[in-house]
Amino acid sequence: MLEEDGLTDATGSSLCFNGINGATGDYLLPPLRPRQVARLAANALLSPEEVEELKRWWERHREPHLAPIHGVDPGDLSKTGWGVIFAPELAEAEKAALAPLLALRREQAGALYQEFAGQKAIRSGDTKQSFLGRCKAGPGPVDPKKVPYYLLIVGSPESIPYRFQYQLDVQYAVGRLHFDTLEGYARYARTVVEAERGTFYRPREVAFFGVRNHADRATQLSADHLVKPLAKHFAQEEPSWETGNWVADQATRTNLARLLGGNHTPALLLSASHGMGFPTGDPRQLQHQGAILCQDWPGPLRHRGPLTEEFYFAGDHVTDNADVRGLIAFFFACFGGGTPKTDEFAHLVGGPGATIAPRAFVAGIPKRLLGHPNGALAVIGHVDRAWTYSFIWDRAGEQLAVFQSAISALLNGQRIGFAMESFNSRYAELASDLCSELEDRTYRRARPEIDTLVEDQALAGLWTANNDARSYVVLGDPAVRLAVSSQAQGTGEQGENTD
């Protein structure tokens, strides 16, 4: 695919992936040939129902209106509705801990508030279509009288799978909460209620944190082609917001701690780096998978062997006295949102359905931020691996429109679930294109004049980009928005600009 983005070597013969194995210090995956990835793509077809739904959704996104039925204000919960989907095993005590949040949303959504129980409750093995079918809802624009546009899943991804969340999120604005303790649910409910009631707000500050490790192509690309251009764009386009640009030498573990609860905590933070990965069975996996590898790592040439905590920032590094109230964080990093049980990218390395974790789980860093005594409002993260396809595309170079759209929507007061519609639209478009590519593959294989290397590279890139686009998730209530005052001005210091 891309020579300039480091995904292929000079001859286009292999695809190189990012993510760091904390147990060995190596990259998480060895290079794979496009032929291998293309074979995997050809054997990983979506179900016919998913194909048709994604095609319909992409066609609808090409119309001038988005999300709910035309004419419905996505910011007004009394028009969009708000609902909660409880995992089957969730105890009454956990539901009770969320009671203040549920009461707030019931007050705001009125008749369009729903708790999915009884016949409408989610069941083991449910697909998006089977769940919605019992709710008398079908494909197309959201009818909040049947199913609310904003939907909060409460439970582990082992009980309500990430795949269900991905597919539901194409049509609805979906978030997820899962904590290991009652205290986490109670703290999060209190945070959202206090933010909505105006008990606190953050200064109008947005921070961009971009690691750029020595001799590491992945972080060099994300720093140069994602973080720096976004920081420059919003410094120009949103003058009422103070923009901090923490890149390269500024992107240290110490500075990230200042941005996550310290004296530089902004209202909105976007970070880009490697996410830490650990093999299944490693005692650090459940807590530290998805942790942010910082500039403290000397890079692959200067450091050999396992990585210690001095190089990365994990959830348990957020101190008890940190204050992240009102923060929304966006982590562009492998496993920054969570980890599935089976690997959806590397089947050809570990065998079909290779197990990479004892169970699917939410990453430790969003759990800690959302369940903190002075907790954050939401985290956008990536499940499984994150790829440069998110912001660089083939020969077209930088493609930042989806990031710009989502961030701009947040800065201008939109609810986070609606702000992520640009990512959902991109996934629907890529999935539709991928299905067409796979449908045409047999025909093209029968024609000897077709360059099979070019074909494999195109299919491998499209399949990888599709899975990458699908795997962005909102952790937290999808109806939250930035807790800032329209009169508040940024007062914190700005990170050094390294442009």
List pLDDT tens digits, range 298-311: 999 999 999 999 99
Both 83 and 222 in a single domain?
no
From CA 318, how far away is CA 315, in angstroms rounded? Answer: 6
Same domain for 313 and 444? yes
80-113 pLDDT tens trace? 999 999 999 999 999 999 999 999 999 999 999 9
Question: Across 166-321, where does the E strand assignment appear?
Answer: 173-177, 205-210, 242-247, 268-272, 276-277, 292-293, 312-313
Dihedrals phi, psi of 455, to nearest 5 degrees: -60, -45
- Which is it for the CA torsion 140, 409, 168, 132, positive or negative? negative
Q: Are residues 137 and 218 located together in one domain of the fold? A: no
What pLDDT sits at residue 173? 97
Structure tokens at 222: 């994300």
Q: Does residue 131 sit in the same domain as residue 38? A: no
- pLDDT score, position 147: 97
Under the banding of pLDDT at 50, 70 and 90, the label for residue 499 is very low
Provide the number of structural domains found in the chain: 2
What CA–CA distance (Å, rounded) separates 431 from 61?
13
- Domain identity same for 225 and 371: yes
221-240 per-position pLDDT tens digit = 899 999 999 999 999 999 99
Q: What is the pLDDT of residue 496?
A: 37
Q: How confident is the model at residue 65 (pLDDT cuts 50, 70, 90)?
A: very low
Measured CA to CA, the distance from residue 437 to residue 428 in angstroms comes to: 14
Query: 149, 170, 196: which is the final residue of a domain?
Result: 196
Identify which has the larger pLDDT, 185 or 138: 185
- Give the domain extent around 167: 48-196
Residue 132: pLDDT over 50: yes
Average pLDDT value for the chain: 84
Asked if 69 and 492 touch (Cβ cutoff 8 Å), the reply is: no
Domain boundary among 149, 166, 196: 196
Confidence of residue 454 (pLDDT cuts 50, 70, 90): low
Nearest to 334 by CA among 366, 392, 290, 368: 290
Where do the H-state alpha helices sit in 266-334? 285-288
Q: Specify whether 298 is located in the same domain as 321.
A: yes
Whether residue 393 is contained in a domain is answered as: yes
Q: Where is average pLDDT lowest: 142-156, 346-360, 481-495? A: 481-495
For residues 135 and 183, state if they share a domain: yes
Q: What is the pLDDT of residue 69?
A: 66
Q: Is the pLDDT confidence value at 60 over 90?
A: no
Q: Is the pLDDT of residue 18 over 70?
A: no
Task: Tell me what pLDDT residue 5 has.
Answer: 33
Tell me: do 211 and 346 sit in the same domain.
yes
Does the residue 127 lie in any domain? Answer: yes
The predicted structure's pLDDT at residue 470: 82
What is the Cα–Cα distance from 152 to 279, expressed in whole angstroms?
30
**The pLDDT of residue 54 is above 70:** no
Same domain flag for 378 and 284:
yes
Asked whether residue 490 is domain-assigned, the answer is no
pLDDT the model gives residue 395: 58
Q: What CATH number is attached to the domain comprising 187?
A: 3.40.50
Query: Who wins on pLDDT, 421 or 465?
Result: 421
Q: Decide if 210 is inside a domain.
A: yes
Q: Is there a single domain that holds both residue 127 and residue 255?
A: no
> Is pLDDT of 282 > 80?
yes
Angle between helices 99-109 and 182-196 (to 10 degrees): 40
pLDDT in tens, 24-49: 999 887 555 555 555 555 555 455 55
**In terms of DSSP bridges, do strands 472-476 and 378-382 run parallel, antiparallel, or are they unpaired?**
antiparallel
Q: State whether 405 and 271 are in the same domain.
A: yes
15 in a structural domain: no
User: Which one of 151, 173, 196 terminates a domain?
Assistant: 196
**Residue 109 belongs to a domain:** yes
Q: Residue 123 has what pLDDT?
A: 94
The C-alpha R_g of the chain, in whole angstroms, comes to 22
Q: Is the pLDDT of residue 448 over 70?
A: no
Please report which confidence band the pLDDT of residue 159 belongs to, taking 50, 70 and 90 as the band edges. Answer: very high
Taking only the tens place, the pLDDT of each residue in 339-394 is: 999 876 654 444 556 889 999 999 999 999 999 999 999 999 999 888 776 777 66
Q: Is 494 part of any domain? A: no
Residue 39, exposed/middle/buried by CB under 10 A (0-12, 13-18, 19+)? middle
Residue 449 — pLDDT band, cuts 50, 70, 90? very low
Residue entry with tokens 């609606």: 418
**CA 400, 4, 256: angle at the middle one, nearest 5?**
55
Specify the pLDDT at position 53: 53
Q: Which long-range contacts (CB under 8 A, 24 or more apart) does 452-459 make?
A: 453/12, 453/34, 455/38, 456/33, 456/34, 456/35, 456/37, 456/38, 457/1, 457/8, 457/12, 457/34, 458/1, 459/34, 459/37, 459/38, 459/41, 459/42
pLDDT at 192 over 90: yes
Q: Are 496 and 250 in contact (CB under 8 A)?
A: yes
Q: What is the pLDDT of residue 397?
A: 67
* CA quadruple 444, 447, 453, 457: dihedral, nearest 10: -10
pLDDT, average across residues 37-63? 54
Residues 247 and 376 in one domain: yes
Percentage of the chain modeled with pLDDT above 90: 65
- Look at 4-8, 188-192, 231-235, 402-406 and tell me which has the smallest mean pLDDT: 4-8
CA 138 to CA 127: how far, in whole Å?
Answer: 13
Residue 195 reports pLDDT greater than 80: yes
CB 299 within 8 A of CB 44: no
35 found inside a domain: yes
